Structure 1
Amino acid sequence: MNGGDGKNVAAAPAALDWKFSQVFGERTAGEEVQEVDIISAIEFDRSGDHLATGDRGGRVVLFERTDKKENGGSRRDLEKVDHSTSRHPEFRYKTEFQSHEPEFDYLKSLEIEEKINKIRWCQTANGALFLLSTNDKTIKFWKVQEKKIKKVASMNMDPSKAVGKNNIGNSSVSSNTSSHLANGGYKDKSSNLINDFKFPPGGIPSLRLPVVTYNETSLATKCRRVYAHAHDYHINSIATNSDGETFISADDLRINLWNLEISNQSFNIVDVKPANMEDLTEVITCAEFHPTHCSTLAYSSSKGSIRLIDLRQSALCDTHSKLFVEHEAPGSKSFFTEIIASTSDIKFGRDGRYILSRDYMTLKLWDINMDSGPVSTFQVHEHLRPKLCDLYENDSIFDKFECCLSGDGQRVATGSYSNLFRVFGCDPGSNESATLEATRNPMRRQVQTPSRPMRSLSSLTRAVRRGGGESTGTDANGNSFDFTTKLLHLSWHPSENSIACAAANSLYMYYA
């Protein structure tokens, strides 16, 4: 298509038709969800062949793709795929393990929850999967690998010549040979051991060497390293580096750089803690490494700003190389302005050119070469603006929604209330916008996950604190809202148009 100046302008891609694919762990009507089962983190690996979720009970659940032969899917799983429709990823439950347990900090009289805050995949090696998981204080490095089970196929005796305790005299082996096998030598009549270890002439025909076979495999999960005692405040994000050797962890005031092989030492690379805490005006909310430049990372703040820093500039990156912030229009400030401006999540595009950020009301797409303002802004739930007072009363205004980009960088997605998620086209000239309710799927095919172990009474009785305020209803335009159901966590498949999103304890898969 040609523009008015004669230059070629690429046409915006056609809007995608999103369809339901799978659901894991969906509750039946009227079933009450325990808080420990609510999903709190979700992440595709770089290949898109594995998916990991973490929950508030400290568990990590892994899923594997089954519609590709090279990924180990069985023939039965491959036959389930309906090739008459557009091809899409199909997953099955792989394994789960307990990553974190509740702890108590006796020095600070503080209970440390087992809730998984973030999961990040690391590079695979020798067929093993590696990932990082973290709660508020401790990061763990996990290895998941298939191991062959050893079984002894045949023992060192001939079954046809085996004898019982009461039939020793029927043995075809001579008494001298039996005595030799029992004691490693011959015994004379006076029971004195003679050190003669020579086999009788012709050998022992009933001796069989054990044979070990590997007919079955099992998944073995091992915690390789524990990275602890490095954060005074709650860890809000971790991010792996493209060098495959290092990662960062961020809390409210500091970002630490770790080497995967060293668990007892980290380097503080960002410290925004003021000398006097009364002078504190903003905190770190999220940090991410650049996908290809191992020395570049970005972190967001509660004031809605994003800072790009270069680790090559100095050991302590107090100064940023670029600052991305959108200034408020004069006269538009209100009591809620600073609260809703806080950035809850940032993600780099696959090529590292763009950064997607999510604040309470909007998605913003930033070009790292242009710090004057976002290149695109997407309104997620603008119809809730008149309800900000109610949202503040019931603490919903502090909910932290995540965001994600498609692998080709043409679309972005994020969640909202009433278990809705929204997909926007971000190419110039695109007006694509789709809103879907994750839990409303008439053509669903439920996939059961294995039953989980029972929880202790203390963990089951924990409840989320909620204040007063209206939680459900409709606005003036007829848009429904339900603040008690929210879709906070979602992840886009790295190479296909497929989204995994979490609503309470259920994992929903959509494709287009």
Structure 2
Amino acid sequence: MFYRSNSDGNGGETTWCFSQVKGTLEDDVTEADLISCVEFNHDGELLATGDKGGRVVIFQRDPASKQCVPKKGEYNVYSTFQSHEPEFDYLKSLEIEEKINKIRWLKQKNQAHFLLSTNDKTIKLWKVSERDKRVTGYNTREEGGRPRDPSRVTQLRVPTVRPADLMVEASPRRIFANAHTYHINSISLNSDQETYLSADDLRINLWHLEITDQSFNIVDIKPANMEELTEVITAAEFHPTECNLFVYSSSKGTIRLCDMRAAALCDRHAKLFEEPEDPQARSFFSEIISSISDVKLSNSGRYMMSRDYLGLKVWDFRMETKPVETYPVHEYLRSKLCSLYENDCIFDKFECCWSGDDHRLMTGSYNGFFRIFERSGGGGRRNELTLEASREAAARPRQPLRARRVATTAKRKKDEISVDCLDFIKKILHTAWHPHESIIAVAATNNLFIFQDKY
């Protein structure tokens, strides 16, 4: 299998180019404006972001950009709405943030679009629909909606439907609440499009989209004595085609595959994916950096990808003992773990994503960097690429991006950046890949960068 190289090998230009940036590029950024999740829908026509202020912004693919040769990945604002509000749990004296943790799209069945959004405690099902017609000629009320005086109704009229300015309405259809004691870190739709799971630190619940007042607890790892707690659930996802299978990862670096046909409570896993630790490499930080922050199943359903603090691993469902592929993301930070622990960066949770054809992987790093790895076929050479979401990239629309490199030794080349000069505030935690095209979305603080492959 042949793969095109992404770079000239010397930090030169690539075939990826800047397409758009959404959000202000000003330095004054409020905490509420920070993007907390990014998600394409199933055909890539819509792109949703959630932020720490509880807002959801939906972008729609520009129809004209699809007619260009080559196609352009350009999106316009389609709808903006407040999904969650800050709350207060009076029984536990806890504030519940409005921050959107995850967004998941349902497959489109009619003209409307549906999506699930969640903060730490409450999941909501939203309907996003268009209205470009209005009814005129009412008998009992004026055109503005006010009731008419019955004595003034002298003749009956047949209401007519007329074109009107397009309005996009977002309305909550279901609210799923009061089922999680701990913060929700994952939601995942089942392939049956009728059920979904939600996961917190110690439990995973199974919901039906039509039932809001009850859910089934399918995983519970809470020990009888909390002092015996050794791990927490960090991410969970359904299999893309097998409705009875799901996986969940833990802070101990393990991934468990569960089959809901085996028992109502999946307290016993069908498979356990774990890479043995090298005793010589063990340190104070080993357990922290081995914690899995995200797990994503491939579109084909054969592989899954896990992200820990320093790298990516690809697992084959048929082999539990070790990953079939390993990709270091920022191995050069291993010598900086002590300072990263002191500033809490070591606890950052990076997400990862697959390309639509499962041939490429993407995840984020620091200094506005994100990494794209091209998987090898038949043990061949693998290409990897570091790109930057920055104002400089936005200043060169449709110009090939320059690959970035980090100097791992004291001797630094001209185009390299020193590890000591990395900006750990500019972190890329959330990324998304278009399901069918080479278009990627990268969240950098309050900005959404959209890039595309020119070829």
- TM-score relative to the length of structure 2: 0.87
| In 1: Cα distance, 2:432 partner to 2:340 partner | 25
SS at match of 1:340: helix
Equivalent runs, 1:211-230 vs 2, <5 Å: 211-216=159-164, 217-230=166-179
| In 2: Cα distance, 1:221 partner to 1:348 partner | 30
2:68 maps to what in 1? 83
2:11 maps to what in 1? none
**Over 4 Å off, 4+ runs:** 153-156, 181-184
SS at match of 1:239: strand
Q: Which has the larger share of strand?
A: 2
Distance 1:323 1:88, change over 3 A: farther
Match for residue 343 of structure 2 among 394, 409, 415: 394
| In 2: Cα distance, 1:327 partner to 1:336 partner | 16
SS at match of 1:495: coil
Q: What count of residue pairs does the alignment treat as equivalent?
A: 417
Equivalent runs, 1:39-50 vs 2, <5 Å: 39-50=35-46
| CA contact 1:361–1:380 (8 Å) conserved in 2 | yes
| In 2: Cα distance, 1:125 partner to 1:280 partner | 43
1:505 maps to what in 2? 446
| In 2: Cα distance, 1:419 partner to 1:375 partner | 28
Distance 1:106 1:154, change over 3 A: closer
1:315 maps to what in 2? 264
Q: Percent identity?
A: 54
1:93 maps to what in 2? 77
Shift of 1:345: 0.3
Distance 1:309 1:183, change over 3 A: closer
Equivalent runs, 1:28-427 vs 2, <5 Å: 28=26, 31-67=27-63, 78=64, 83-84=68-69, 86-152=70-136, 209=157, 211-216=159-164, 217-427=166-376
Shift of 1:14: 3.8
SS at match of 1:63: strand
Deviations, residues 90-127 of structure 1 (Å, cap 9, x unaligned): 21110111000000001100000000000000122321
| CA contact 1:23–1:444 (8 Å) conserved in 2 | no
Shift of 1:474: 9.4
Distance 1:183 1:336, change over 3 A: closer
Partner amino acid, structure 2, of 1:130? F
2:385 maps to what in 1? 434
Partner amino acid, structure 2, of 1:495? H
Structure 2: runs of 5+ lacking an equivalent: 7-13, 141-149, 399-406, 413-417
Calculate the aligned-residue CA RMSD, in Å.
Answer: 2.2
| In 2: Cα distance, 1:395 partner to 1:219 partner | 41
- TM-score relative to the length of structure 1: 0.78
Match for residue 21 of structure 1 among 3, 19, 22: 19
| CA contact 1:26–1:507 (8 Å) conserved in 2 | no
1:177 maps to what in 2? none
| In 2: Cα distance, 1:182 partner to 1:398 partner | 71
Shift of 1:396: 0.4
Deviations, residues 340-392 of structure 1 (Å, cap 9, x unaligned): 00000010100110001100000001011111201111111111111111100
Shift of 1:25: 0.6
Deviations, residues 310-365 of structure 1 (Å, cap 9, x unaligned): 01000000011111111111221100000000000010100110001100000001
Q: After the TM superposition, which of the residue ranges 227-236 and 17-26 deviates more from structure 2?
A: 17-26
Shift of 1:128: 0.4
Partner amino acid, structure 2, of 1:430? R
| CA contact 1:474–1:481 (8 Å) conserved in 2 | no
Shift of 1:155: 9.0
| In 1: Cα distance, 2:266 partner to 2:196 partner | 16
1:490 maps to what in 2? 431
| In 1: Cα distance, 2:109 partner to 2:31 partner | 35
| In 2: Cα distance, 1:407 partner to 1:147 partner | 32
